[in-house]
C-alpha cells in the first residue's frame, strides 16, 4: 500500500501560535512524543530565528534519531547556513527552503521581480542541497500564485536538488476543489515532478485546512503537513490528528497507509496543549473531551444497541479512554437505566419512571448531571417506599439580614385530596419552613437532627438533606436532594413525617431501611437552620 509521509510542524509553524513559545527542554519533550507517535518528519524549528532555537534543534537532532529532522530557512545564505549547522548531527536531515511566489508577496514583501525570485529559489536550494540529506522547497502563497510561474519555479528547484515540493495554502484561501486542481496542474505541467514527493501544507483561515489537505492527497500529494491540535500561525494549520484519522477511517476513499501510531494521538494532544498553554476545545474532532461523548437520548439509545450507529471510530484507536454517555436533559430512559446498572442499581420500570422524571427536573436546573447526583436521586427514591400522606404542593420562604424568616407552605393531604396552606416565622429559613409544614399538616414530631451536605461541587451543586424525627421513642429518617437546599429540606422532612405517620397508621414499624432505633447515636439537631 502507498505510504503517505506525515510531516509534523508543531515545533515550527505550531510554535508560531501567539504565546506558544517553547523552551529547549519542552521542544525536546514534544519531539520525543512525536517520535512515539510515528511521524516521518519533525520540523523542529527555524534556526536563524535565535541561538536558543538553533540549540534546541541541535539537541533534538542528537536525541531523536528515527524521524527525519527538518528545519526552515528563507532563501538567503545566512538562514540556510544556520539550518545546515542545526541539522548536521541528525540521523537524517532536511532543509526546508521557502520563497514566496505570489504577485502580492513578491511585489510588496520581497520587493523582487518574478525572475529574481526564481533565481533566489534555485540558488538557495543548490546551497541547501550541500548541507543536508534532502531539500524540501515551498512556494509560499502558492495558491495565490500564477500556476505557470509556479511550475517554472518548481522545475528550477528540482534541477537544483529539491526532492520534496510543497504547495502551501499559506493564507488558507483555497477551496478543496481548487487546491486539488492546482496539484493536478503542477503534476501535468512541471517537467521532472514525477521524481519528487508532492506535499500539502494548509492553513485554516476559512476552516478548510483539513479538507484541503485531503483533497490534495486525492490529487497526488504524498506528504501531508500539519500540527497537533491544529495550532499555528493565525487560525492555525491542518490538525494532523484529523488528517490521519480521516485517512484511516475512510480507507475506501484513501487507500493509503501512514506510520502513525494512532493510539498516541490523544496523549500527544494533551502534551502539546499542556506545554503551549493552548486549550483544546471540548468539541474538537478526535482529541476533544466530547469527541466520543453522547448526550441526546436517541443517540445514547443507538449507541447502546450498536455503537456504530453514532461512532465512526473507536475512542481506543486514538488513545481516548472510552465513549461516554453523558446524562443531561436530552437523555432518554435507556441511557439512564444503563448508567444505573453500571453503578450497580437494578430498577423496575416503575422506579425508572420516577427517577427519570426527577432527573429531568434536576437537569433543567443543573448544567451537567453527575453519577453522584444520580445516586442521590436513586437513594432518595429508594427510601420513599411508604404511601405518602403529606405531599408538598408549594412553598415560599422569605429571609434575609435584619428580617424575620417567614415561610408559606401548601400541602395536599393524600387521603382527602384537601389542600392546606399555612405560614410561620422561625429562627432561620429552614426552621420557618418546618414550622409552616407542621402547622399545615397538624404534625407533631420532634426534630432530632438535620444534616445538609453538597453532593457535587460548583454553584449548581445538589444539596442532600437528611432529617431525623422522633416520635414515641422511634426515629424516622427522611432524605432528599435538590439544587435548592430549601426544597430538599422540605421534602426530606415530609418524607420522615410520612414514614412516621405510616408507622402509626399501620400500627407497625415502617420498613427497616426507613427508621432507626432511638438508641442510635444521632448527629446534633440543627439550630436555627
Ligand atoms: C509562512 C511562514 O510561516 S514563513 C516562516 C515564518 N517564521 C518566522 O518568521 C520565524 C521567526 N522570525 C524571525 O525570527 C525573524 O523574522 C527572522 C530572524 C527570520 C528575520 O528577522 P529580520 O532580519 O529582523 O527581518 P524581518 O523579520 O523584520 O523581515 C523579514 C525579511 O525577510 C525577507 N524575507 C521573507 N521571506 C523571505 C524568503 N523566503 N526568502 C528571503 N527573504 C525573505 C523579507 O522580505 C524581509 O526582508 P527585508 O528586511 O529586506 O525587507
Ligand atoms: C513555509 C511555508 C511552508 C509555510 O509555513 C506556509 O506557507 O504557510
Contact between 220 and 199 under an 8 Å Cβ cutoff? The reply is: no
Q: Does residue 431 sit in the same domain as residue 364? A: no
Separation of CA 100 and ligand 2 centre (Å): 9
pLDDT at 507: 58
User: pLDDT, tens digit, for every residue of 342-360?
Assistant: 888 888 999 999 999 999 9
Residue 56 C-alpha cell reads as: 534546541
First to last CA, the chain: 73
Angle between helical axes of 297-305 and 333-342 (0-180°, round to 10): 60
Calpha distance 218→250 (Å, rounded): 12
Q: Does residue 208 sit in the same domain as residue 355? A: no
The answer, yes or no, to whether residue 38 has pLDDT greater than 70, is yes
pLDDT at 476: 85
Mean pLDDT over 257-279 rounds to 95
DSSP code for 309: G
pLDDT at 506: 64
Q: Considering the domain boundaries, does residue 269 fall inside one?
A: yes
Please tell me the least confidently modeled range out of 149-158, 246-255, 328-337.
Answer: 328-337
Mean pLDDT over 142-147 rounds to 98
* Ligand 2 near 268 CB (within 6 A): no
ipTM exceeds 0.90: yes
pLDDT tier at 369, thresholds 50, 70, 90: confident
Probe target for ligand 2 pocket from 43, 72, 237, with the most ligand atoms within 8 Å of CB: 72
The residue to which cell 432505633 is assigned: 517
Mean pLDDT over 447-460 rounds to 83
Mean pLDDT over 245-252 rounds to 97
* Ligand 2 near 12 CB (within 6 A): no
Probe target for ligand 1 pocket from 14, 110, 231, with the most ligand atoms within 8 Å of CB: 110
- The annotated binding site for Mn(2+) is made up of 13, 201, 203, 237
Mean pLDDT over 114-123 rounds to 98
Q: Does residue 318 sit in the same domain as residue 249? A: no
Single residue among 224, 251, 276 that ends a domain in this structure: 276
Q: Considering the domain boundaries, does residue 378 fall inside one?
A: no
Q: Does residue 306 sit in the same domain as residue 184? A: no
* Ligand 2 near 13 CB (within 6 A): yes
Calpha distance 29→275 (Å, rounded): 9
Q: Does residue 364 sit in the same domain as residue 398? A: no
Mean pLDDT over 174-182 rounds to 98
Mean pLDDT over 306-320 rounds to 94
Q: Does residue 366 sit in the same domain as residue 388? A: no
* Ligand 2 near 166 CB (within 6 A): yes
The answer, yes or no, to whether residue 215 has pLDDT greater than 90, is yes
> What CATH number is associated with residue 229?
3.20.20.70
Nearest ligand 1 atom, CA 124: 40
pLDDT at 113: 98
Closest C-alpha to ligand 1, atom 18: 49
Probe target for ligand 1 pocket from 12, 70, 100, 109, with the most ligand atoms within 8 Å of CB: 109
Number of domains composing the chain: 3
Closest C-alpha to ligand 2, atom 4: 170
pLDDT tier at 461, thresholds 50, 70, 90: confident
Closest C-alpha to ligand 1, atom 21: 49
Calpha distance 478→489 (Å, rounded): 9
Which domain covers residue 93, as residue numbers? 2-276
Residue 103 C-alpha cell reads as: 504577485
The answer, yes or no, to whether residue 515 has pLDDT greater than 90, is no
Separation of CA 168 and ligand 2 centre (Å): 6
Mean pLDDT over 118-132 rounds to 98
The answer, yes or no, to whether residue 510 has pLDDT greater than 60, is no
Single residue among 323, 341, 370 that ends a domain in this structure: 370
The answer, yes or no, to whether residue 91 has pLDDT greater than 80, is yes
* Ligand 1 near 43 CB (within 6 A): no
Q: Does residue 258 sit in the same domain as residue 340? A: no
* Ligand 1 near 450 CB (within 6 A): no
If DSSP states are collapsed to H, E and C, what string results for 464-481? EEEEEEEECCEEEEEEEE
Contact between 131 and 95 under an 8 Å Cβ cutoff? The reply is: yes
Mean pLDDT over 329-344 rounds to 90
Nearest ligand 1 atom, CA 168: 1
pLDDT at 512: 32
Q: Does residue 297 sit in the same domain as residue 253? A: no
Tell me the pairing of strands 134-140 and 93-100: parallel
pLDDT at 273: 94
Residue 436 C-alpha cell reads as: 409552616
Separation of CA 327 and ligand 2 centre (Å): 44
Separation of CA 519 and ligand 1 centre (Å): 83
pLDDT at 385: 61
Q: Does residue 235 sit in the same domain as residue 259? A: yes
Q: What is the mean pLDDT of the chain?
A: 91
154 closest CA partner among 198, 105, 190, 103: 190
Probe target for ligand 2 pocket from 140, 182, 223, with the most ligand atoms within 8 Å of CB: 140
Q: Does residue 169 sit in the same domain as residue 253? A: yes
Separation of CA 502 and ligand 1 centre (Å): 84
User: pLDDT, tens digit, for every residue of 410-429?
Assistant: 999 998 999 999 999 999 99
* Ligand 1 near 75 CB (within 6 A): yes
The 3-state DSSP class for residue 390 equals: strand
The answer, yes or no, to whether residue 526 has pLDDT greater than 80, is no
Amino acid at each position: 500500500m502507498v505510504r503517505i509521509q506525515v510531516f509534523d510542524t508543531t515545533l515550527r509553524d505550531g510554535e508560531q501560535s501567539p504565546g506558544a513559545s517553547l523552551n529547549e527542554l519542552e521542544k525536546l519533550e514534544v519531539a520525543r512524543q512525536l517520535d512515539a507517535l510515528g511521524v516521518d518528519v519533525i520540523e523542529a524549528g527555524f534556526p536563524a530565528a535565535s541561538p536558543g532555537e538553533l540549540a534546541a534543534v541541535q539537541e533534538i537532532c542528537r536525541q531523536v534519531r528515527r524521524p527525519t529532522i527538518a528545519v526552515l530557512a528563507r532563501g538567503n545564505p545566512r538562514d540556510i547556513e544556520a539550518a545546515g549547522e542545526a541539522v548536521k548531527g541528525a540521523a537524517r536531515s532536511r532543509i526546508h527552503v521557502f520563497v514566496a511566489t505570489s504577485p502580492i508577496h513578491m511585489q510588496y514583501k520581497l520587493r523582487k521581480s518574478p525572475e529574481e525570485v526564481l533565481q533566489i529559489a534555485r540558488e538557495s536550494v543548490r546551497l541547501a542541497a550541500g548541507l543536508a540529506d534532502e531539500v524540501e522547497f515551498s512556494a509560499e502563497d502558492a495558491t495565490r500564485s500564477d500556476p505557470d510561474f509556479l511550475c517554472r519555479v518548481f522545475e528550477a528547484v528540482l534541477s537544483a536538488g529539491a526532492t520534496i515540493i510543497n504547495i502551501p495554502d499559506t493564507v488558507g484561501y483555497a477551496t478543496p476543489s481548487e487546491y486539488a486542481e492546482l496539484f493536478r496542474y503542477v503534476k501535468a505541467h512541471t517537467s521532472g515532478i514525477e521524481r519528487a514527493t508532492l506535499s500539502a501544507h494548509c492553513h485554516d483561515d476559512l476552516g478548510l485546512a483539513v479538507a484541503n489537505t485531503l483533497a490534495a492527497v486525492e490529487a497526488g500529494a504524498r506528504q501531508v503537513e500539519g500540527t497537533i491540535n491544529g495550532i499555528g500561525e493565525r487560525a492555525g494549520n491542518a490538525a494532523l490528528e484529523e488528517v490521519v484519522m480521516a485517512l484511516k477511517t475512510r480507507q475506501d476513499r484513501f487507500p493509503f497507509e501512514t506510520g502513525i501510531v494512532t493510539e498516541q494521538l490523544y496523549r500527544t494532544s494533551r502534551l502539546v496543549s499542556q506545554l503551549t498553554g493552548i486549550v483544546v476545545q471540548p468539541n474538537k474532532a478526535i482529541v476533544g473531551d466530547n469527541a466520543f461523548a453522547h448526550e441526546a437520548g436517541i443517540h445514547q439509545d443507538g449507541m447502546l444497541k450498536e455503537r456504530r450507529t453514532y461512532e465512526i471510530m473507536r475512542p481506543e484507536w486514538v488513545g481516548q479512554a472510552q465513549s461516554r454517555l453523558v446524562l443531561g436533559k436530552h437523555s432518554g430512559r435507556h441511557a439512564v437505566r444503563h448508567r444505573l446498572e453500571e453503578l450497580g442499581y437494578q430498577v423496575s420500570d416503575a422506579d425508572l419512571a420516577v427517577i427519570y422524571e426527577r432527573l429531568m427536573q434536576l437537569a433543567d436546573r443543573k448544567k451537567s448531571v453527575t453519577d453522584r447526583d444520580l445516586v442521590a436521586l436513586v437513594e432518595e427514591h429508594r427510601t420513599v417506599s411508604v404511601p405518602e400522606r403529606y405531599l408538598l404542593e408549594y412553598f415560599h420562604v422569605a429571609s434575609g439580614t435584619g428580617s424575620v424568616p417567614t415561610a408559606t407552605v401548601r400541602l395536599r393531604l393524600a387521603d382527602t385530596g384537601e389542600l392546606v396552606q399555612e405560614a410561620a416565622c422561625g429562627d432561620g429559613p429552614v426552621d420557618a419552613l418546618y414550622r409552616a409544614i407542621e402547622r399545615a399538616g397538624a404534625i407533631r414530631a420532634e426534630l432530632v437532627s438535620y444534616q445538609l451536605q453538597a453532593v457535587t461541587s460548583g454553584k449548581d451543586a445538589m444539596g442532600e438533606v437528611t432529617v431525623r424525627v422522633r416520635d414515641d421513642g422511634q426515629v424516622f429518617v427522611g432524605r432528599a436532594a435538590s439544587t435548592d437546599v430549601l426544597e430538599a429540606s422540605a421534602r426530606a422532612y415530609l418524607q420522615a413525617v410520612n414514614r412516621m405517620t405510616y408507622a402509626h397508621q399501620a400500627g407497625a414499624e415502617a420498613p427497616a431501611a426507613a427508621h432507626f432505633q432511638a438508641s442510635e447515636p444521632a448527629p446534633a439537631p440543627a439550630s436555627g437552620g
